[in-house]
Each structure stands twice: as structure tokens, then as C-alpha cells.
Structure 1
Amino acid sequence: MTLEAKTEPTKDLSAHTAGIMVVVVGPSGAGKDTLMNLAARHFAGRPDIHFVRRVITREGDPGNEDHRSVSDVDFDAMERAGAFAVSWEAHGLKYGISSDVEDELARGHLVVANGSRSVLDRFQAAFPKLKIINVTARREVLAERLMARGRESREDVMKRLERGSLIVQGDYDVSDIDNSGTLDEAGRVIVAELEALIAR
């Protein structure tokens, strides 16, 4: 994963110390998008929990997450204008979390975003109350799911899994969810995790 460092201005963190920012991460094939969609449906209509729609320099299609698609030029302009609380680059794409989330956090709400393990330091710098949910699965399950996508050869899939770690490195508040079994099982776990955070 290639990341380009960015110099970001110092932010006043006092405005959104009440709420909790939840970042869902995990390797390809772990099913974090599916679990987030399930949780979003479960909490639909709740005013105290918000699921972030990321800004990405990728065309939208049914196979990808629901995101706001923008051009590289527009992304760069938004970034210069301070439109993002956190932004990063990976695999030739640019990702942004809108600064609007700070308004929800200031109200004491729970905000859930799809993130990346590579830039958790940026999330930690931006949000004083940060919770990481790391969605994983057994390596053989990940390999089966990635092969089913048909985008990579078996050799490429196995090499990728051998290189990658399934744990979050660093001093973060992390909960791991094993999504090797049924979606219902993992779905109940992520919903329970979010319910517990709302109840804090």
C-alpha cells in the first residue's frame, strides 16, 4: 500500500470531544463493507449514530461501497479548502472523511467510518475519542473470498495474504471481530459493539 505523507494544519479538538469516532478496518476479503452495511440497516433512523459516506476518486458501481465519487482535481481542491477531517492515498486512489463528522461528534453522537490500518495515526490525531473495530477472518477464508472475486490469480492472493498482518499495530483501543463464520454471527457482534459504545 502506497501512502503519501501530507502536512495537515493543527486542529482544535475541543469541539468534538463528546462523541466517539469508530473506524472499521480489516484486510481485503474480511467483509468489513458487508458488516458496516448490515449495521447501518440495523441502526437506520437512529439520530445518535452516523455512518460516513466517504469521498473517493473512484467511479461508483454496484460492486463498491456507497461513496461520493470525485475527480482527482476536485479532491485536491476539497482538501485545500479543509473539507476533510482525515484524508489519505492508497492503491492509486484518494480517500476523504468529510469534516462534517466533527459536527456530529460535537453533539455526542457515534460516527462510524470505513478506514485503513495504514493511517490510523491520522485518525488518532484528528479524533480524541477513537475506537477501532478490526474485522478479520482466517487466512483460508480470506483466500477463498478473494479468489471468488476473480481479480487475482491464486498465487497473487496467497502472496498478498502472506505479506499482510491480521492485527492492528499500535497503541489503539481495538476490538477484533472474526468474520470467518456466518454473516449473522459477525453481524450480531458488530451491532453489540456499537450499542455498547452508544451506551457509554
Structure 2
Amino acid sequence: MPGPGQLFYLMGDSGAGKNTLFNYARAKLQDDKNIKFALRYITRPTANNGTEEHISITHEDFKRLLQADFFAMFWTSHGFHYGISTEINRWLAQNDRVVIIGSRQYYHTAKIDYPQLHAVLIQAEPDLLLQRLRSRNREKPEEIKQRLSRNAGYSDFRNLIDTKFTIIENNLKLEAASRKLINVICKP
């Protein structure tokens, strides 16, 4: 069971900049031994463009790890399996601050399992989302259309959040959005 630490659960639209903000904060806070950034295990090859750092595994390995209770959280999205390892529970038990990238669809389950969860909703304007999705060269045009359609289904998500949460608008200046995320993570 999770410990007394703080869990920061980043989520948002495809293309909102979750990975960019996660990586920026991780680089800036790397010397703080009480702040941990957990990478996701994903059944997708690592992107060549560096936008999404994760641990790439096969579907078979994911299934094996799932059966071994390796994952504290897991979900399926866009045909891929995602997981966060149970190491976050050890970090939380040590009273660390733990940052992860989660899923909006998994949020309610995560909130039940981790009542100390602090949701961080990353948002960006629709035109910017489209531009970012195209520039990362990961999805085909039809897949981009599906992601944007799915994003629209979560437009009222902030109204569903029943916990401590922060909304970060990531429209233009990476520095401003990153600074806000770092302030949220470091706030006592």
C-alpha cells in the first residue's frame, strides 16, 4: 500500500506536452534525492524524436510482468499497454515526492489506490495539439484524428476531478509551464 509521500499524476490531451514537461522537470530536479520520476513501461518502440522517454517492452513481457504483480498501475490506450512499476510504492513509503505520467481514463482508479494523489492536468489549444501531433511523426493522419477526437471527449475533465489538482496551460512558453510544474512538485 502507498506510503505517506506525495504522488503527482500528470495527464492531459495527446500533444499537450506531458512528456516535455515531465522531462524538463526531471532534468531541473535531478539533484533532489527526495523527488523521483517514474518512467512508464509501454508496448511501443521508443520514439526516435525523443519526445517520449519510456521503457519499451513487448506485449508478451508486459503480460508476464502484469502476472508477476510488477505494475502498481496499468492501462491500455490507442492499442498499447502502459504500466508504472511498484517501485513508486517504495518511494512513497520513504516519504518521497513521485512524479508519473498517467492516463485520464485510469485517473479514478489511481485516485482510489493513491488517496494522496495530486492530479496535474496539462492542456494546450487544439491547433497547437494538432501541430505537435504532426511534428512528432509517430502517428499516421488517421491516428492523429482519433487522438484529437478522444481529446474532445475529455473537454470537461476538470469538472470530474474530486481531489487536489492543478491545471497547467502549455500553449507557448515551455519555461512558464515547466516552472509551474516544478513549483507544484516542490511546494511543501
Q: TM-score range by the shorter chain?
A: 0.7 to 0.9
Contact residue 30 and residue 136 of structure 1 kept, 8 A: yes
Structure 1: any 5+ residue segments left out of the alignment? 1-12
User: Match of 1:4?
Assistant: none
User: Match of 1:185?
Assistant: 176
**CA displacement at 1:75 relative to structure 2:** 0.9
Contact residue 143 and residue 158 of structure 1 kept, 8 A: no
User: Match of 1:67?
Assistant: 54
- SS of the counterpart of 2:13? coil
2:23 aligned residue (10, 21, 37): 37
User: Match of 2:157?
Assistant: 167
Structure 2: any 5+ residue segments left out of the alignment? none
Query: Aligned AA for 2:68?
Result: A
1:45-66, CA deviations, whole angstroms, 9 ceiling, x for partnerless residues? 2110000011111112333522
Structure 1 position 21 matched with structure 2 position 12: no
Structure 1 position 144 matched with structure 2 position 135: no
Alignment coverage as a number of residue pairs: 182
- SS of the counterpart of 2:74? strand
- SS of the counterpart of 1:125? helix
**Please, what TM-score do these two structures have when normalized by structure 2?**
0.87
**CA displacement at 1:82 relative to structure 2:** 0.8
Q: RMSD over aligned Cα, in angstroms?
A: 2.1
CA distance in 2 between partners of 1:185 and 1:66 (Å): 22
**Please, what TM-score do these two structures have when normalized by structure 1?**
0.82
Query: Aligned AA for 1:152?
Result: P
Contact residue 130 and residue 148 of structure 2 kept, 8 A: no
Q: In the superposition, relative to structure 1, how do residues 149 and 103 fare at CA in structure 2: closer, same or farther (>3 Å)?
A: closer
**CA displacement at 1:166 relative to structure 2:** 6.0
Query: Aligned AA for 2:141?
Result: E
Identity %: 29
Structure 1 position 131 matched with structure 2 position 118: yes
Max Rg structure: 1
1:91-130, CA deviations, whole angstroms, 9 ceiling, x for partnerless residues? 1111111011111000100010011100112211221210
- SS of the counterpart of 2:84? strand
Contact residue 17 and residue 129 of structure 1 kept, 8 A: no
1:169-188, CA deviations, whole angstroms, 9 ceiling, x for partnerless residues? 23222100001121111111
CA distance in 1 between partners of 2:156 and 2:37 (Å): 24
Query: Aligned AA for 1:137?
Result: A
Query: Aligned AA for 2:155?
Result: S
- SS of the counterpart of 1:118? coil
Contact residue 38 and residue 187 of structure 1 kept, 8 A: yes
CA distance in 2 between partners of 1:166 and 1:194 (Å): 24
User: Match of 2:80?
Assistant: 93
- SS of the counterpart of 1:50? strand
Contact residue 19 and residue 53 of structure 2 kept, 8 A: no
User: Match of 1:156?
Assistant: 145
CA distance in 2 between partners of 1:191 and 1:162 (Å): 27
Contact residue 111 and residue 117 of structure 2 kept, 8 A: yes
Contact residue 39 and residue 53 of structure 2 kept, 8 A: yes
